[in-house]
Amino acid sequence: MAEPATTAFGPLIDTHAHLDDPRMARDLGGVLSRAREAGVTQVVAIGTTADSSRETVALAGAHRGLFAAIGIQPNHVAEAQPGDWERIVDLVTAPKVVAIGETGLDRYWDRSPFPLQQDLFDRHLALAFEHDLPVVIHCRQCEADIITQLERLGRPVSGILHSFTGNWDDAQAFLALGLHLSFAGMVTFRNESLDPLREVAARMPIDRLLVETDSPYLSPHPFRGKTNEPARVALTCGRIAELRGMEPVALAVQTTSNAARLFGIEGADPI
Ligand SMILES: [Zn+2]
């Protein structure tokens, strides 16, 4: 059983970090100790390719408090080699694999043919259902496409719309499908254009709300543009707490309990 966090501001679960990225992997000890000081108790390391997924499983195996999600991210599906999907399937039963992904759709980068993205998204969803695991969904300028593809399944979907950036109507559609919404650093940025995103964070049902860093990307204010790391999930949680008129620690406790339940890691050892 985990010790309760002793910091003023925990416990926190960073539900989405690319810990195998060299920017973090080369100083993982420092990254994890800063996270611990910030009240972070667990981190889910997210795979983006077959190699990266194997790496997240290795990291989870080597460190307390780290867990793995495995998948081929939509911007990487075109470069996937024959056999890469089978490697993902083989990793599902590895210890500490708690989710399938990241998967999803991306029209912004245009790096992979869209029908191929949709095919891989369907395979990830089927794998998640088969193993009763939550799915981690990446969505860039594809809210309607993802809603259509998920509705076609005709069943609720356990999982996360990660780094949510949609509007209130998108949020309602994703929530109706059964998904949780996870917020990254954008909610802290100063741009007025992000006020609708803040409105979703302020008003959505608290039991479906999650926080993440998407490290090394999307570093929150006042570190915008710098290499992000899991410790900074506290800044995002703090800003959402402010938007909701809550104490940061109360939101930390709630989002951590949401994440632990979704990933099936209640009572897990801390980092
Ligand atoms: Zn990601």
Sorting pLDDT into bands at 50, 70 and 90, what band is 3? very low
User: In this structure, what DSSP letter does residue 67 have?
Assistant: E
How remote is the CA of residue 18 from the centroid of ligand 1, in Å? 6
Provide the residue ranges of all domains of the chain, joining segments of one domain with +.
Answer: 15-263
How remote is the CA of residue 102 from the centroid of ligand 1, in Å? 6
Beta bridge partners of 99: 69
pLDDT at 92: 98
SS3 181: strand
Close Cβ partners of 52 (under 8 Å, ≥ 6 residues apart)? 18, 20
- Whether the pLDDT of residue 197 is over 50: the answer is yes
How remote is the CA of residue 92 from the centroid of ligand 1, in Å? 18
CA distance 71 to 130: 15
Looking at the chain, how many residues does it have?
Answer: 271
pLDDT tens digits, one per residue of 85-97: 999 999 999 999 9
Sorting pLDDT into bands at 50, 70 and 90, what band is 4? very low
- The enclosing H or E element of 14 equals strand 12-17
Cβ pair 268, 65 in contact under 8 A: yes
pLDDT at 10: 85
pLDDT at 110: 79
pLDDT at 271: 97
- Summarize the confidence of residues 105-110 as an average pLDDT: 91
pLDDT tens digits, one per residue of 111-151: 899 999 999 999 999 999 999 999 999 999 999 999 999 99
- Provide the residue type at 1 as one letter: M
- For domain 15-263, the CATH class is alpha beta
- Whether the pLDDT of residue 212 is over 70: the answer is yes
SS3 99: strand
User: In this structure, what DSSP letter does residue 193 have?
Assistant: G
Place of tokens 């949020």: 171
- Summarize the confidence of residues 194-222 as an average pLDDT: 97
How remote is the CA of residue 139 from the centroid of ligand 1, in Å? 10
Provide DSSP, 236-260: HHHHHHHHHT--HHHHHHHHHHHHH
Cβ pair 102, 48 in contact under 8 A: yes
- Whether the pLDDT of residue 6 is over 70: the answer is no
How remote is the CA of residue 244 from the centroid of ligand 1, in Å? 26
Sign of CA dihedral 207, 257, 164, 250: positive
Place of tokens 């897990």: 268
Sorting pLDDT into bands at 50, 70 and 90, what band is 8? low
Give the CA angle between residues 179, 157, 211 to the nearest 5°. Answer: 25
Cβ pair 77, 114 in contact under 8 A: no
Sorting pLDDT into bands at 50, 70 and 90, what band is 2? very low
Instruction: Tell me, yes or no, if the pTM score tops 0.85.
Output: yes
SS3 154: coil
- Provide the residue type at 138 as one letter: H
- Average pLDDT over the chain, rounded to an integer: 95
How remote is the CA of residue 217 from the centroid of ligand 1, in Å? 8
Give me the torsion for CA of 62, 65, 69, 75, rounded to 10°.
Answer: -90
CA distance 243 to 175: 20
pLDDT tens digits, one per residue of 35-64: 999 999 999 999 999 999 999 999 999 999
pLDDT at 5: 40
How remote is the CA of residue 107 from the centroid of ligand 1, in Å? 15
Beta bridge partners of 181: 161, 209
How remote is the CA of residue 215 from the centroid of ligand 1, in Å? 8
